[in-house]
Every structure is written in structure tokens, then in C-alpha cells.
Amino acid sequence: MSDELVRVKNVWVHYGDVPVLEDINLSVQQGDFLGIIGPNGGGKTTLLRVILGLIKPSRGKVSVMDTSPRKARRFVGYVPQYSLFHREFPASVWDVVLMGRCGYRGVFQRYTDQDRRLALQALETVEMSGFQDRQIGKLSGGELQRVFIARALVLEPKLLLLDEPTASVDTAMQTEFYQILDRLRQNMAIVLVSHDIGAVSVYVDKIACLNRRLFYHDSKEISPEELEAAYGCPVDLIAHGVPHRVLRRH
């Protein structure tokens, strides 16, 4: 297998007659940490679902790890923007993380020692091993997101897709959250969708801006003109601290 994990070539997606993605071209390599920013309704979640094989493009081609997105899905971890569940549902953190192995074992098959080993390893990776017996509805937003990442990690993914992972995480925990992602990138490529332009610019290696069309140059930098074209209005960024890597000049 080549170093290229994802190849999206000339992809269009329509909902009815309305184009949601227009002529998207994107390559994700092993070890990449790519941040995708853009306005609401710009197609960011749709692009992740195309890579997962959950949405078939109207035209264009998508390959993931040199095969179809559906066949490669077992090697892709995914944390969606919203994980809806009843807060009183009697499931523990341990139960939720092990559910990530259902794709291998089937819903009604017993978990193996390997499944349990991988679940424990995933919880240790996201620093939640002391919460195994905690009822899932009792966790904070930041703790929940760590558990959902652990659930994705039990697949031993080569690619991790995250859709607005810090949307329900308070500011104090966001730094720790991004530090966890920085460690994970040593073993997998990460594609992160976010509205938090400032945080994304500090932690990721590459930035793309998506609003139906993708503005991407395999780089950390996006020009003010590209941001304005993507958002449809002028965008001012205020830099706090160093490094700040969205614009070439402030």
C-alpha cells in the first residue's frame, strides 16, 4: 500500500438538484494531521461521509487505502459530531468502548481477550482508564469525547476522522484534547473538521477550507483571499501566542 491513504478526485455530491460538494480534489497521506474549516452547511460532514463510503458521489472517484471506501471502513475510526443517547442509559464507559469491536465480532458474539486488551489500551491512550465503570451519562462533554475516540481506536485505525470533536468541550479541556490527538498522529493520519480556526491553526499540519468547493494547497497556510472566497465575506483573524499558522502575514 502506498503512503496515500485517501484520494478524492473530481468529486461532486448532490442532494436532489442542489450541489453540496463541487469538484473536490484531496489527498491524505500517512502521518497527516489535516484540519478542515469552513462555514455551516459548507459540506464538511458530507466530505467525511464520502470518505467513509456512507455517501456515494454523484460523480468522481474516491479510494481509501487503495480500495473502495466501504472495504476500507474497518481501518477508519470515526467520531461524529453528535452522538445521541439517553443520559440514563445503563451503559458503562467500558461497554461503550467495547462496542467499537462489534464490526469485527458482530452484535451478538462474545468479546475476546484481544477485544478487551484493545479496549483497555484505547482508554489508557485517551487517559480515561480510571473511568471504566462510570455510567456513560455521568461524564462531562470532554470526557465523553475521549470515550468516543477510544471507541474509534479499538479498530486500530490507520485513519481517524473527527467531526467537530471540541463542540461540547470546555476551553480548559480543549488543550488536553488536542494534545491527545497530537500523540495519536504518530500512528495514524487524522482529519479534523472544526469551526475553531485558531486552535486548528496551532495543532494541525495542513489546513483546507471547504464551502462546497475545497481550497487546499497541501500546506498550513491559507491566504486571506481564500478564506474570504470560502466564507463569502471578509474574515479577520486575531493571533494569540506563537505559533499562529493560518495566514502568511498578520
Q: Is the pLDDT of residue 42 over 80?
A: yes
Q: Which domain holds residue 47?
A: 4-231
- Within a domain: 144: yes
- Within a domain: 247: no
- Within a domain: 66: yes
| Whole-prediction pTM | 0.84
The total number of structural domains in the chain stands at 1
Give the CATH number, domain containing residue 135: 3.40.50.300
Q: What is the tens place of the pLDDT at every residue in 141-179?
A: 888 889 999 999 999 999 999 998 877 677 777 788 888
Q: Is the pLDDT of residue 38 over 50?
A: yes
Instruction: Give the integer Cα–Cα distance in Å for 14 and 23.
Output: 11
- Within a domain: 248: no
pLDDT range class, residue 204, cuts 50, 70, 90? confident
Q: Is the pLDDT of residue 93 over 50?
A: yes
Over the chain, what is the mean pLDDT? 84
- Within a domain: 206: yes
